[in-house]
Amino acid sequence: MSAPNVSSTFPDAIGDRLAGSVTTVGDRDPLWVRTPFTKDTLGAVPACQPADVDEAVANARDVQASWADRPIEDRAAVLQRFADSVLANRSELLDIVQLEAGKSRFDAHVEVLDVVLTADYYARTGPTHLAPTRKSAGVPLLTKAVEHYDPVGVVGLIEPWNYPLTLAISDMLPALLAGNAAVLKPAEATPFCALRAVELLEEAGVPEGLVQVVTGYGDTVGERLVASVDFLTFTGSTATGRAVAATAGEHLVDTSLELGGKNPALVFADADLGDAVRGLVHGSFANAGQLCIAFERIFVERSVYDEFLTRFVDATESLALGADLSFDYDVGSLIAEHQLETVETHVADARERGATVHTGGRRRADVGPLCYEPTVLTDVPDDASVAREETFGPVVTIAPFDDPDAAVERANATDYGLHASVWTDDRARGEAVARRIEAGSVSVNDAYLSMWASTDAPMGGVGDSGIGRRHARHGIEKYTHAQTVTTQRVHPLVPVDALPNDVAAAAATWGVRALRRLRRLDPFERG
């Protein structure tokens, strides 16, 4: 197959160089990678086959044991060196993220900083999270109980195109710190972000071969990867997540799945409307809306609805739409034609059902072949596609509410439950309302960045938005097996030979009663 015209804008021909770092069993057809900015080809990677997955997993296993034997403090130091390297190579990484994913440079910058913060967080806290922990023993003073955390072995990661650096690497870092190897399957559209990041990991001290990258099509290699690893992390659509979970269940592979969202925001009359507009415009249109925690539904208390809508539309119209490598633009391109078609279909369906388009609502081929204007809709009926289904594009619906309880009910009227936002001057009320929203995370007086940056707090979904959590202790413990070691200090806990069974049972009952009284006095006692 002859190569298409390759874009001269790809810095230092890094696409061709990195593609050569993918190890395959034999000759493989090329998978051409194109930039959404122009649809020019950036380079090619091998379209791997199931046999390549088998080899990648085997190679990772060969390296994993020696990595796990290194003190966790040494592994943490590697993560800190990696964070330093990401910052030092920031400009190059921004170029790759933008060219592959089509996003604005600021949105790409958020990815780079996320990787640095995640690496730093787990390097600092991981050794404490995974330290052997004394537990309340069965018989205080006589029994010692300790919980240990061991790596699961080889972790598989199937990651999407919308945040190709963050989701490929930030999910992997705690797995590596815990002593695991990793096999990463990046999205077909964005493999070069992952390949460059793995290079930086190895330069920072991760042993060669510990992290394997399998490029290619999900329907070719995905099932084999799920079946071959010891833990699987997946980020993507709910439909694909169900298929991944079914395969994992057949092979008893534990999983963490972050799936879709139809995220709501509630704006109360006492909110600072300037803050709410700024926050929600960014929260709705970051990465052209191709963000699992972006807002697609905004509900505003009726007394301030008109003012909020006017200010929101004005702020949306002031966003700069563009497709290049500068910081001059706020909103970039959609990733591919299929994503653009979904956006156009949802907006057209809403129009046919009587919705009002206040701004946007059209493709902007003059800016870029896959660019679409940030779009604000009102008067959207509940049966419209854009009201029910995840759009995953630069489209947001806004509606008024009169009763706060009804607003919470509308926010919860979805099978998804990933993220939400509440805006009010009464922070206590905001937190109380947040607790009533059925979502894995809720931000009060912020869109999502404060939540995402809180790496010591878990993040994930409920319902059709997935299972499992990233960040915090949850984000590293999931990559381990817990082992309990109990040590008996005097004699084993078996009936005393000299006592009849009924007497031994009575003595044990007395002991349990005494133990309950002791634990009520000191519930945190340790044996």
Where in the sequence is the domain holding 37, given as residue range(s)?
A: 11-259+474-480
CA diameter of the chain: 92
Q: Are residues 291 and 357 in the same domain?
A: yes
Provide the CATH number for the domain around residue 115: 3.40.605.10
Give residue 2's pLDDT: 36
With respect to residue 469, please indicate whether it lies within any of the assigned structural domains.
no
Whole-number Å distance between alpha carbons of 216 and 460: 27
Q: Are residues 253 and 334 in the same domain?
A: no
Give residue 3's pLDDT: 41
Q: Are residues 198 and 329 in the same domain?
A: no
Give residue 14's pLDDT: 58
Q: Output the tens digit of pLDDT for each of the chain's 527 residues.
A: 334 443 444 555 555 656 556 656 668 899 999 999 999 999 999 999 999 999 999 999 999 999 999 999 999 999 999 999 999 999 999 999 999 999 999 999 999 999 999 999 999 999 999 999 999 888 887 889 999 999 999 999 999 999 999 999 999 999 999 999 999 999 999 999 999 999 999 999 999 999 999 999 999 999 999 999 999 999 999 999 999 999 999 999 999 999 999 999 999 999 999 999 999 999 999 999 999 999 999 999 999 999 999 999 999 999 999 999 999 999 999 999 999 999 999 999 999 999 999 999 999 999 999 999 999 999 999 999 999 999 999 999 999 999 999 999 999 999 999 999 999 999 999 999 999 999 999 999 999 999 999 999 999 999 999 999 999 999 999 999 999 999 998 878 777 777 788 888 888 888 888 888 877 776 555 55
Single pTM value for the model? 0.93
Q: Are residues 390 and 278 in the same domain?
A: yes
Q: Are residues 344 and 416 in the same domain?
A: yes
Give residue 11's pLDDT: 53
Q: Are residues 33 and 89 in the same domain?
A: yes
Q: Are residues 232 and 288 in the same domain?
A: no
The two tokens of residue 366 are 């003059």
With respect to residue 420, please indicate whether it lies within any of the assigned structural domains.
yes
Contact 396, 377 (CB under 8 A): yes
With respect to residue 5, please indicate whether it lies within any of the assigned structural domains.
no
Provide the CATH number for the domain around residue 313: 3.40.309.10
Whole-number Å distance between alpha carbons of 198 and 221: 20
Give residue 12's pLDDT: 53
Give residue 16's pLDDT: 61
With respect to residue 487, please indicate whether it lies within any of the assigned structural domains.
no
| Residue 34, strand partner residues | 41
Residues in the chain: 527
With respect to residue 191, please indicate whether it lies within any of the assigned structural domains.
yes
Domain count, the chain: 3
Q: Are residues 444 and 515 in the same domain?
A: no
As a whole number of Å, the CA-based R_g of the chain is 26
With respect to residue 4, please indicate whether it lies within any of the assigned structural domains.
no
With respect to residue 526, please indicate whether it lies within any of the assigned structural domains.
no
| Residue 470, strand partner residues | 459
For the annotated catalytic residues, the residue numbers are 258, 292
The two tokens of residue 311 are 């200010």
Q: Are residues 205 and 88 in the same domain?
A: yes
What would the 3-class secondary structure string for 285-353 be?
Answer: HHHHHCCCCCEEEEEEEHHHHHHHHHHHHHHHHCCCECCCCCCCCCECCCCCHHHHHHHHHHHHHHHHC
Q: Are residues 406 and 360 in the same domain?
A: yes
Distance of CA 20 to the CA centre of its chain: 28
Give residue 286's pLDDT: 98
Whole-number Å distance between alpha carbons of 393 and 464: 19
Give residue 22's pLDDT: 61
With respect to residue 467, please indicate whether it lies within any of the assigned structural domains.
no
Q: Are residues 56 and 116 in the same domain?
A: yes
Contacts of 6 (CB under 8 A, 6+ apart): 15, 16, 40, 41, 42, 43
Whole-number Å distance between alpha carbons of 395 and 297: 9
